[in-house]
Amino acid sequence: MTLTCQQLLQKHTQEWQEATVHPFLVQCKLGTIQQNQFNTWLVQDYLFVVDFTRMVGRILANAPSQHFDVILGGLVALKDELNWFKEKAALQKLDLDTQKQLTCSEYCDYMNSLAAMPYPVQATAFWAIELAYNQGWQLPGVMPEPYTEFADRWGNPGFTNYVKLLEQQADQGLQTASESIQHQAEEAFLKVARLEKDFWQMAFNAA
């Protein structure tokens, strides 16, 4: 039997819930998040997205050419995303030339380690990382200013559709993967879920 992304979500509901529902996001929704917490998240997430971009570049290098369209679309969006983070940081006078915190470092090291893994594992991790933000920022519902823009950015229907396409590509990779590779993909999914949870907690701890 072949593994699918939907099966991963169904099998690991608890882990996925912890990755996507966190007091950090609840407090954005309530407007009670502290500036320190939000700014910590913003700077560390910029540093994360830099390494995420490198990861997507490496995934492109391993992908079948039929998957290029979606991945190249993702890379184009990342060009905009990186500039957007820089604008947001400049407005708040935040220094992006900052050290990564331990959790951010661990997550970036993990993304770097995916380079050595087979394409179906990479595609599954790629999908899970994007889905975490798509669901995380969407689930609380409409957010008050100044968080509206953040929630819209990753909760909007266009982004949701992009994540669906990533799911289809991961599923396609998994369809012909060996049991061992499918097992590695499951481990990757769980690792992403745990790192997402820790990333929220890292920012939340800045209070």
Ligand X SMILES: Cc1ncc(C[n+]2csc(CCO)c2C)c(N)n1
Which residues make up the interface to ligand X (CB under 6 A)?
Answer: 45, 48-49, 52, 74, 77-78, 81, 129-130, 132-133, 154, 196, 199
In angstroms, what is the minimal distance from the CB of 192 to ligand X? 8
In angstroms, what is the minimal distance from the CB of 74 to ligand X? 5
In angstroms, what is the minimal distance from the CB of 44 to ligand X? 8
Q: Which is nearer to ligand X, 129 or 177 (CB)?
A: 129
Instruction: Report, in angstroms and rounded to the nearest whole number, the Rg of the chain calculated over CA atoms.
Output: 17
Taking every pair of C-alpha atoms in the chain, what is the biggest distance, in angstroms? 52
In angstroms, what is the minimal distance from the CB of 155 to ligand X? 10
Q: Which is nearer to ligand X, 24 or 119 (CB)?
A: 24
Torsions phi, psi for 96 (to 5 deg): -85, -10
Q: Which is nearer to ligand X, 42 or 117 (CB)?
A: 42
Residue in 15, 2, 5 with CA at minimum distance from that of residue 167 = 5
Q: Beta-carbon neighbour count of residue 186 at 10 Å? A: 18
Q: What is the C-alpha to C-alpha distance for residues 153 and 31, in angstroms, rounded to an integer?
A: 18
In angstroms, what is the minimal distance from the CB of 2 to ligand X? 26
Q: Which residue is closest to ligand X by CB?
A: 133
Half-sphere exposure of 181 (CA within 13 A, CB side): 20
Q: Which is nearer to ligand X, 132 or 185 (CB)?
A: 132
Q: Which is nearer to ligand X, 128 or 177 (CB)?
A: 128
Q: Beta-carbon neighbour count of residue 198 at 10 Å? A: 16
